[in-house]
């Protein structure tokens, strides 16, 4: 009897655990949307304004909020503290106010480096809305249309060239990411760029990464990107901007840098880009190399958060028919493009640096 009751209890608990798993996944998007509203309302800035610790009434003085929504903001803050975006110190007495603080994560939403523009891009409706059609997209033959095209009727780069608001959102997001990660690149593996006298940052956007390399390592840098990007590139930097198409040709240099470029493209396109890179650089003995900053799935720390973020990023980038590759997949495109060797430096968390040699 006792055994039967225990079994029943275990079964019930197992069922509840299974239900919890499903609910946890299903409501996962609310986490993203809570973070999005924190970005929209600039809650981290409001806390930062008060010295990094603020009560709800203090936060309210700095965010645009209808007074009737103050209790709702308290609930938003509860979700954001449970998920670790902020921390909360409980009041000593029942009538007291919680004190909300920035965590290491939300400190990256204020000051510099600042990841807010990149996160704002990823949770923007232009990027989120395609995922409602993911199930339907699986029923169509590859390669076209991408999930993004299926939703918006155009490719990301076409939208960026016609829609100034999206273009700004996109470029600001990329600048924010480069501003953050290039500091780490230079600290952790600046040696990758040692001995290089000239470098082309292929599809380098507004050149934030090239500027960081040029400034820290005194390498002469050129940024190659599409004409609409180069037309709006910042003036007065020490990098040179060239409008062009990486599928056509790449200006010659000692080395090529490709940050977050190859993950946007399928294998055949990556091989074309890499072949053009190879044409632009000297032999390995003469110092020629391609430096790639991208994800190598399965490489880097092996905890669940890292692995899950890599798998989710891969699914995310699939919306432009892009791929986050594992080592075997990288090896295939690298050798198919005619390169002879490569090295992976897993020093950037979920991302890595790949050094590729002619």
Ligand X SMILES: C[S@@+](CC[C@H](N)C(=O)[O-])C[C@H]1O[C@@H](n2cnc3c(N)ncnc32)[C@H](O)[C@@H]1O
Cα(81)–Cα(100) distance, integer angstroms: 8
Closest CA to 59 of 104, 121, 120, 102: 102
Whether the CB-CB separation of 127 and 159 falls below 8 Å is answered with no
Where on the chain is the footprint of ligand X (CB under 6 A)? 157, 174, 177-178, 203-205, 209, 224-226, 229, 245-247, 259-261, 264
In angstroms, what is the minimal distance from the CB of 77 to ligand X?
32
In angstroms, what is the minimal distance from the CB of 259 to ligand X?
4
Cα(177)–Cα(273) distance, integer angstroms: 22
In the residue annotation, 218 being an active-site residue is answered as no
b/e map of 77-104 (b: 16 or more CB within 10 Å)? Answer: bebbbeeebbbeeeeeeeeeebbbbbee
In angstroms, what is the minimal distance from the CB of 268 to ligand X?
14
Cβ contacts of 305 within 8 Å, gap of 6 or more: none
Choice between 46 and 223, CB closer to ligand X: 223
In angstroms, what is the minimal distance from the CB of 187 to ligand X?
18
DSSP summary character for residue 337: T
The answer, yes or no, to whether the previous bond of 113 is cis (omega within 30 of 0) is yes
Choice between 77 and 246, CB closer to ligand X: 246
Note the residue count of the chain.
358
Residue 54, phi-psi category: left (phi > 0), alpha (psi -120 to 50), beta (remainder)? beta
Cβ contacts of 326 within 8 Å, gap of 6 or more: 296, 297, 298, 299
In angstroms, what is the minimal distance from the CB of 173 to ligand X?
8
Closest CA to 253 of 315, 201, 182, 299: 201
Can you say whether the dihedral through the CA atoms of 242, 246, 251, 256 is positive or negative? Answer: positive
* Residue of 48, 66, 263, 306 marked catalytic: 263
Cα(254)–Cα(104) distance, integer angstroms: 38
Cα(187)–Cα(206) distance, integer angstroms: 22
In angstroms, what is the minimal distance from the CB of 206 to ligand X?
8
Choice between 203 and 354, CB closer to ligand X: 203
Residues designated catalytic: 263
């Amino acid at each position: 009897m006792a055994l039967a009751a225990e079994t029943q209890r275990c079964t019930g608990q197992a069922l509840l655990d299974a239900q919890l798993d499903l609910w946890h996944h299903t409501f996962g998007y609310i986490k993203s949307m809570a973070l999005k509203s924190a970005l929209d309302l600039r809650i981290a800035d409001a806390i930062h304004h008060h010295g990094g610790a603020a009560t709800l009434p203090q936060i309210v003085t700095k965010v645009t909020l209808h007074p009737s929504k103050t209790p709702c903001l308290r609930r938003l803050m509860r979700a954001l503290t449970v998920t670790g975006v902020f921390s909360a110190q409980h009041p000593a007495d029942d009538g007291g106010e919680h004190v909300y603080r920035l965590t290491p994560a939300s400190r990256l939403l204020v000051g510099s480096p600042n990841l807010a523009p990149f996160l704002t891009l990823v949770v923007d409706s232009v990027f989120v809305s395609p995922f409602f059609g993911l199930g339907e997209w699986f029923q169509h033959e590859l390669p076209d249309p991408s999930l993004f095209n299926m939703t918006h009727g155009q490719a990301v780069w076409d939208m960026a060239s016609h829609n100034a608001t999206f273009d700004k959102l996109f470029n600001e997001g990329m600048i924010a990411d480069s501003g953050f990660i290039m500091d780490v690149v230079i600290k952790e593996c600046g040696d990758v760029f040692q001995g290089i006298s000239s470098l082309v940052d292929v599809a380098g956007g507004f050149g934030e990464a090239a500027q960081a390399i040029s400034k820290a390592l005194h390498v002469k840098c050129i940024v190659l990107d599409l004409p609409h990007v180069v037309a709006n590139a910042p003036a007065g930097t020490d990098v040179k901007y060239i409008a062009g198409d990486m599928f056509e040709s790449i200006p010659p240099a000692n080395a090529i840098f490709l940050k977050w470029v190859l993950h946007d493209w399928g294998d055949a396109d990556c091989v074309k880009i890499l072949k053009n890179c190879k044409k632009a650089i000297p032999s390995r003995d003469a110092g020629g190399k391609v430096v790639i900053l991208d994800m190598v799935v399965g490489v880097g720390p092996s905890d669940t958060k890292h692995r899950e973020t890599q798998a989710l990023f891969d699914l995310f980038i699939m919306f432009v028919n892009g791929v986050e590759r594992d080592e075997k997949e990288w090896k295939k495109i690298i050798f198919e493009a005619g390169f002879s060797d490569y090295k992976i430096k897993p020093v950037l968390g979920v991302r890595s640096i790949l050094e590729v040699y002619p």
